[in-house]
Chains A and B, each alone.
Chain A
Amino acid sequence: EVQLVESGGGLVKPGGSLRVSCAASGFTFNTYTMNWVRQAPGKGLEWVSSISSSSSYIYYADSVKGRFTISRDNAKNSLYLQMNSLRVEDTAVYYCARLGEGGSGTDPYFDPWGQGTLVIVSS
């Protein structure tokens, strides 16, 4: 069974840093592009970042560019999002999502999704 499990969320002060992780299982992790998508409380979905299977291609939303860094460790079947200079508006549930079967790296073809990890940025 394909499974994505996020961890590492929590409460952090504005300007602080946090790293969230996503543990993947049930599929050949090193052959898939992976993504982070977030959802602020009571709001819609926002794509955050994506990373290709070999980390050759990395993309960020303008809202996080220069502050967030996506990475992966294919040996550990894990995806990461290092978040620095956090702002109140970064408060959200962060989901990791795999690129769907046969998808191209640029499509918002996310399947499956993890259960999410909540990041709260507050003083």
Chain B
Amino acid sequence: QSVLTQPPSASGTPGQRVSISCSGSMSSIGSNYVYWYQQLPGTAPKLLIYRSNQRPSGVPDRFSGSKSGTSASLAITGLRSEDEADYYCATWDDSLSGPVFGGGTQLTVL
């Protein structure tokens, strides 16, 4: 059971907008930045969003992050086949005194 709750799966068709949620608590998301990682099949995770809503250079602006209260979201607009991957949210948890990840969301592009 992960500290952060994500839907196990999400899907969309090319060109669509998809949103992936990440639910936590006051001691986790409510008090800290959220990070998002993309893991393409058979590869290492890659940083997608840092400090809740910042994109590293090289990440398309189709990807955006937001945070409100104890929840965060990753939005992908103009969905493409190459976006098919697992997506993980992460944050620091003050109660556990350590970084925690969500269980991951498998995104399928139909």
Which residues of A are interface residues toward B (Cβ below 8 A)? 37, 44-47, 59, 61-62, 95, 100, 103, 106-116
Inter-chain CA distance A103–B35, complex, in Å, is 12
Inter-chain CA distance A111–B55, complex, in Å, is 12
Q: Are A113 and B101 touching (Cβ within 8 A)?
A: no
Q: Is the interface of A mostly helix, strand, loop or mixed?
A: loop
Q: Are A106 and B101 touching (Cβ within 8 A)?
A: no
If A100-B50, A116-B44 touch, does A107 touch B92 (CB 8 Å cutoff)?
A: yes
Q: Is the interface of B mostly helix, strand, loop or mixed?
A: strand
Name B101's contact: one of A44, A100, A112, A116 (CB within 8 Å).
A44
* Cβ contacts A to B, 9 pairs, < 8 Å: A44-B103, A46-B101, A62-B98, A100-B50, A106-B92, A107-B92, A108-B91, A110-B47, A111-B50
Inter-chain CA distance A3–B88, complex, in Å, is 22
Inter-chain CA distance A111–B100, complex, in Å, is 16
Closest chain B residue to A110, Cβ basis: B47
Q: How far is the CB of A68 from chain B (nearest CB, A)?
A: 14
